[in-house]
């Protein structure tokens, strides 16, 4: 059931190593469920699990994060009027992970899922709570009729969208699709404000498409050098619809070896996020500053695209800056500095990949959808303003600012571009907004936004 160092511990305090994937997932969810809707980006600890068990634990964990609102709605149906939030934290975690398997993972035997959830409850929550867990999860299991991979999802009171097809339920448990906001919120697990906003800003059809895209499992996408000739028969990857892009489906070790064969050109990156730096390909860049560099994907891309340029890279996060410090080993034209120690020289290009809501990458960042609200968006816009205002003075006259986000929101995109134009007196060179799209691994891509502005 569990390794010796986990016995007799409460669920939320359990730490690896684990030898039970369901316990690993439930323990991880128990540590964060009390913070909903402000869920942190919490990677699952799988130390001690076999490769197959780690895959199962990861799938359970991800499904809970991605379908939290839907799962809570279904579980609450069988709590006899008791609010879900009134349950003990570990019981909520066990019910969420159990329901995630019963509803969305049809290859798992329902009796095994319920039995394991009951055992976890008895051993790591309270023995007397096992009856509640057993009763609720059996009702959840009975609710599911069939998974139909060939039935495209249409809003309905008794169907759920999945990556391929629909789940048919035995009862009408969702609101009438006439109330599309409420319906999308519960069937695709989005706070009501997001489908409401997307219906208003775009269209009902776009809102449905965005909500469906956000329940996909994003593939690992690898950008390659233009000269690379992919092998259609490869066991390691499939060929993506975007040129020079592969869908990786082999092991992490094989991926590391593949990337090492051409470190300057091969990297894990969604094709939508390559376009910002590529938009500078026709510029004569001798120096550049990547201020919000994260872990350095765009720094590497800049250094490859402009090998003659001096690239300064930094980030305010110490851990990310530690990763950045490794880049100059492979890219001698990159220098990593502390954010407080920027060189006094003005640069030709300022890259601002600013912190944002992540609303264009919610399939990759499922927990981010719950945190996004009017206040959090206002705070992000204010932070973006501060970064822009503080940094644009580092650009020489006639130089460029490349502003980019992974957001769909106009406040973070077009309105911030206008702020840069108004503040600097610059001119818009080009601007691109990309909607997330693609329903298969070989067509999938995130959303993104970028604008290139030339200063006077």
Query: How far is the C-alpha of 227 from the C-alpha of 335, rounded, in Å?
Result: 28
Q: Could you write out the three-class secondary structure of the chain?
A: CCCHHHCCCCHHHCCCCCCCHHHHHHHHHHHHHHHCCCCCCCCCCCCCCCHHHHHHHHHHHHHHHHCHHHHHHHHHCCCCCCCHHHCCHHHHHHHHHHHHHHHHCCCCCHHHHHHHHHHHHHHHCCHHHHHHHHHHHHHHHHHEEEEECCCCCCCCCCEEECCCCEEEECCCCCCCCCCHHHHHHHHHCCCCHHHHHHHHHCCHHHHHHHHHHCCCCCCEEEECCCCCCCCCCCCCEEECCCCCEEEECCCHHHHHHHHHCCCCCCEECCHHHCHHHHCCCCCCCCEEEECCCCCCHHHHHHHHHCCCCEEEECCCCHHHHHHHCCHHHCCCCEEECCHHHCCCCCEEEEEEECCCCCCCCCCCCCCHHHHCCHHHHHHHHHHHHHHHHHHHHHEEEEEEEEEEECCCCCCCCHHHHHHHHHHHCCEEEEEEEECCECCCCCCCECCEEEEEEECC
Residue that terminates a domain, selected from 175, 194, 213: 213
Are 275 and 354 within one domain?
yes
User: Quick one: 190 and 119 in the same domain?
Assistant: no
> Does residue 249 belong to any structural domain of this protein?
no
Write down the residue that tokens 């090998």 correspond to.
Answer: 307
Residues 408 and 299 in one domain: yes
pLDDT-derived band at 41 (thresholds 50, 70, 90) equals confident
Mean pLDDT along residues 111-129: 96
Triad 93, 97, 102: Cα angle to 5°: 145
Asked if pLDDT for residue 51 goes beyond 50, the answer is yes
Looking at the structure, tell me whether residues 142 and 152 fall in a common domain.
Answer: no
Question: Considering the chain, what percentage of its residues have pLDDT values greater than 70?
Answer: 98
Q: What's the average model confidence in pLDDT over 143-160?
A: 97
pLDDT digits (tens, 9 = 90+) for 296-350: 999 999 999 999 999 999 999 999 999 999 999 999 999 999 999 999 999 999 9
CA dist., res. 53 & res. 48, Å (int): 9
29 and 102 assigned to the same domain: yes
Residue 298 shares a structural domain with residue 427: yes
225, part of any domain: no
Q: Specify the pLDDT at position 12.
A: 86
Average pLDDT over residues 268-287: 97
| Long-range Cβ contact pairs of 27-33 (< 8 A, separation 24 or more) | 27/93, 27/124, 28/61, 29/61, 29/64, 29/93, 29/96, 29/97, 30/89, 30/90, 30/92, 30/93, 30/94, 33/89, 33/92, 33/93, 33/96
Q: What does each C-alpha distance from 336 to 41, 75, 234, 396 come to in angstroms?
A: 26, 49, 37, 20
Determine the average pLDDT of the residues in 227-241. Answer: 97
Does residue 139 lie within any of the structural domains? Answer: yes
> What pLDDT was estimated at residue 3?
44
**Per-residue model confidence as pLDDT tens digits over 415-436:** 999 999 999 999 999 999 999 9
The predicted structure's pLDDT at residue 164:
87
Say if residue 286 is in the same domain as residue 434: yes
Domain with 98, as residue range(s), is 4-146
CATH code for the domain of 300 = 3.40.50.150
pLDDT at 439 > cutoff 70 = yes
Helix axes 130-143 and 110-124, enclosed angle (nearest 10) = 160
Judge contact between 71 and 98, C-beta under 8 A.
Answer: no
**Same domain membership, residue 163 and residue 31:** no
Rounded distance between C-alpha atoms, residue 211 and residue 70, angstroms: 13
Assess if residue 450 is contained within a domain: yes
Residue 209 lies in a domain: yes
- For residue 1, pLDDT over 80 is answered with no
Both tokens of 67, joined, read 């379908």
Question: Phi, psi at residue 393, to the nearest 5°?
Answer: -70, -10
* 199 & 316 share domain: no
Two tokens at 266?
Answer: 């091969």
422, 441 Cβ separation under 8 angstroms: no
Examine the domain organization and report whether 37 and 153 are in the same domain.
no
Q: Taking 90 as the threshold, does the pLDDT of residue 155 lie above it?
A: yes
CATH number of the CATH domain containing 15: 1.10.940.10
* Model pLDDT for residues 62-108, shown as the tens digit of each residue: 999 999 999 999 999 999 999 999 999 999 999 999 999 999 999 99
Evaluate whether residue 250 is within a structural domain.
Answer: no
Q: Which of 274, 283, 273, 278 minimizes the C-alpha distance to 400?
A: 283
From 119, 146, 173, give the residue that closes a domain: 146
> Which pLDDT tens digit goes with each residue over 162-191?
998 999 999 999 999 999 999 999 999 999
* Average confidence score pLDDT of the chain: 95
**Integer Cα distance of 279 and 238 in angstroms:** 27
In a shared domain, residues 195 and 324: no
Last residue of a domain, one of 116, 146, 176: 146
Determine, yes or no, domain membership for 425: yes
Residue in this structure with the two tokens 């990556």, named with its chain if needed: 163
Residue 9's pLDDT is 64
Q: What is the pLDDT of residues 351-397, one digit of tens each?
A: 999 999 999 999 999 999 999 999 999 999 999 999 999 999 999 99
Percent of the chain clearing pLDDT 90 (strictly above): 94
φ, ψ of residue 223 to 5 degrees: the values are -85, 135
How many structural domains is the chain composed of? 3
Asked if residue 114 is part of any domain, the answer here is: yes
Q: What is the structure's pLDDT at 6?
A: 44
Query: pTM for this one?
Result: 0.93
Q: How many CB atoms lie within 10 A of CB 243?
A: 10
Q: Please tell me the predicted confidence (pLDDT) of residue 142.
A: 98
- 169 shares its domain with 189: yes
Enter the tokens of residue 93: 């975690």
**Segment 8-13 mean pLDDT:** 76
- HSE at residue 52, side-chain half, CA atoms within 13 A, is 0
The tokens describing 209, both together, are: 């498409």
Assess contact for 444 and 218: CB atoms under 8 A: yes
């Amino acid at each position: 059931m569990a390794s010796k160092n986990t016995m007799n511990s409460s669920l939320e305090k359990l730490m690896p190593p684990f030898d039970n994937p369901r316990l690993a997932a439930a323990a991880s969810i128990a540590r964060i469920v009390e913070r909903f809707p402000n869920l942190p980006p919490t990677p699952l600890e799988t130390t001690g699990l076999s490769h197959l068990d780690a895959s199962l634990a990861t799938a359970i964990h991800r499904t809970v994060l991605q379908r939290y609102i839907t799962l809570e709605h279904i579980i609450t149906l069988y709590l006899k009027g008791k609010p879900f939030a009134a349950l003990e934290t570990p019981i909520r975690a066990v019910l969420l992970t159990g329901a995630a398997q019963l509803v969305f993972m049809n290859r798992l035997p329902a009796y095994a899922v319920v039995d394991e959830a009951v055992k976890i409850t008895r051993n790591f929550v309270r023995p007397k709570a096992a009856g509640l867990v057993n009763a609720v999860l059996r009702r959840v299991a009975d609710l599911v009729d069939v998974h139909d991979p060939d039935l495209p999802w249409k809003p309905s009171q008794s169907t759920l969208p999945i990556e391929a097809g629909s789940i048919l339920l035995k009862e009408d448990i969702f609101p009438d699709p006439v109330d599309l906001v409420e319906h999308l919120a519960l069937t695709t697990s989005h706070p009501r404000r997001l489908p409401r906003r997307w219906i208003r800003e775009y269209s009902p059809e776009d809102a449905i498409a965005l909500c469906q895209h956000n329940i996909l499992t994003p593939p690992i996408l690898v950008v390659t050098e233009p000269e690379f000739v992919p092998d259609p028969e490869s066991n390691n990857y499939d060929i993506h619809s975007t040129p020079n892009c592969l869908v990786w489906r082999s092991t992490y070790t094989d991926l590391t070896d593949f990337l090492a064969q051409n470190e300057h050109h091969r990297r894990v990156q969604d094709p939508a996020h390559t376009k910002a730096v590529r938009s500078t390909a026709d510029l004569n860049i001798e120096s550049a500053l990547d201020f919000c560099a994260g872990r350095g994907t765009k720094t590497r891309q800049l250094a490859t695209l402009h090998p003659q340029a001096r690239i300064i890279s930094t980030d305010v996060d110490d851990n990310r800056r530690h990763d950045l410090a490794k880049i100059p080993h492979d890219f001698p034209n990159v220098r990593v500095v502390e954010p407080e120690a920027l060189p006094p020289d003005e640069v030709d290009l300022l890259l601002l990949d600013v912190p944002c809501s992540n609303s264009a990458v919610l399939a990759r960042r499922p927990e981010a959808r719950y945190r996004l609200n009017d206040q959090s968006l206002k705070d992000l816009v204010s932070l973006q303003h501060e970064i822009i205002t503080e940094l644009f003075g580092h650009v020489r006259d006639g130089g460029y600012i490349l502003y980019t986000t992974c957001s769909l929101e106009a406040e973070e995109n077009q309105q911030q571009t206008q702020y840069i134009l108004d503040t600097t007196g610059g001119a818009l060179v080009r601007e691109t907004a990309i909607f997330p799209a693609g329903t298969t691994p070989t067509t999938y891509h995130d959303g993104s936004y970028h604008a290139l502005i030339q200063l006077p």
